[in-house]
Chains A and B, each alone.
Chain A
Amino acid sequence: MSNDVKNKTSITTPSDTEIRIEREFDAPRSLVWEAYIDPELLPEWLGPRELTMTVEEFDVRPGGSYRFTHRDPDGNAFVFFGEIREVREPELIERTFAWEGMPGKQSVERAEFEELDGDRTRIVVVSRFDSKEDRDGMLESGMDRGVNDSYERLDELFARQQA
């Protein structure tokens, strides 16, 4: 980061079926909100860096739908979609979240924007799954670079073993 100390993202699992992510930003809430829900900005920040993201639809109002495609350098496409369930500008957006790679599975993602002292804002994202298996399965879905890096290292290992 070019400016001061980087804010940390923290994670907790409040229950077997939830994941909670928290992060503070040095900016007023209205500004954080605008950046978060701007469909034109989404491809610049959301999802793994090495994937190219396209926003097919992002209709931010209750009942509105959204659909994002992430493409890897080999052209494989990962499609995410869902419905916006609740919007309270500039403090809350709740949506369902599903991946085409796991048909029938969906989670509910609730993002809250809290005003803090000194023109700071905290984003809290809680994802709720139908079961622990669903939660862990969706986390394993291969979107994590850290995990993928490990796989690549293992891949090299397997390749050496089989050679």
Chain B
Amino acid sequence: MSALADPTRRAVLERLGRGSATISELAAASEMSLTGLKKHVGILEEAELVRTEKRGRTRHCYLGPRRLDDVTDWVEAYRRSWDDSFDRLDQIIQRKKGMSK
């Protein structure tokens, strides 16, 4: 399975798409230990998908400079997958239509 098929990392990106969050907020949201979550954030940070900033004792996370719109845009991805299926259904329907003429 691919690295970003990891549900935690996807959830982190999606959560940050709605606004910044601290490591502990992200950990709580994904029901994960701080250490485990930090590891995921580290990987996303290396890929520049996430950036972090230490303020006092807490680390704040934001979406990074690298944006893959389609990673966060589930709605468009979902539309494309239906569009693809409907294209094939359309071909079947046109075939049936041709036969019934």
Contact = CB atoms under 8 A, between A and B. Distances in A.
B77 A139 contact: yes
Interface in A67-98: none
B89 A144 contact: no
A147 B47 contact: no
Contacts of B97: 26-27, 31
B39 to A, nearest CB: 13
Given A140-B7, A144-B74, A153-B68, A49 B47 contact: no
Contact of A144 (B80, B93, B94): B80
Contacts of B90: 1, 7, 25
A41 B83 CA distance: 17
A85 B88 CA distance: 26
A1 B84 contact: no
Given A136-B14, A150-B70, A21 B82 contact: yes
B31 interface: no
Given A11-B82, A48-B84, A145-B84, A155 B93 contact: no
A9 interface: yes
Interface string A111-147: 0000000000001010000000000100110111111
Given A145-B81, A150-B71, A35 B76 contact: no
A27 B94 contact: yes
A152 B80 contact: no
A150 B10 contact: no
Given A31-B96, A41-B92, A150-B71, A143 B81 contact: yes
Instruction: Indicate the size class of the contact surface on chain B.
Output: 35 or more
A139 B82 contact: no
Contacts of A153: 68
B78 to A, nearest CB: 5
Given A144-B80, A145-B80, A44 B92 contact: yes
A158 B79 CA distance: 27
A11 B90 CA distance: 18
A34 B96 contact: yes
Nearest to B95: A35
Interface of B: 2-5, 7, 10, 14, 43, 46-47, 49, 68, 70-71, 74-94, 96-97, 100
Interface of A: 1, 3, 6-11, 13, 19, 21, 23, 25-27, 31-32, 34-36, 41, 44-49, 123, 125, 136, 139-140, 142-155, 157-158, 161
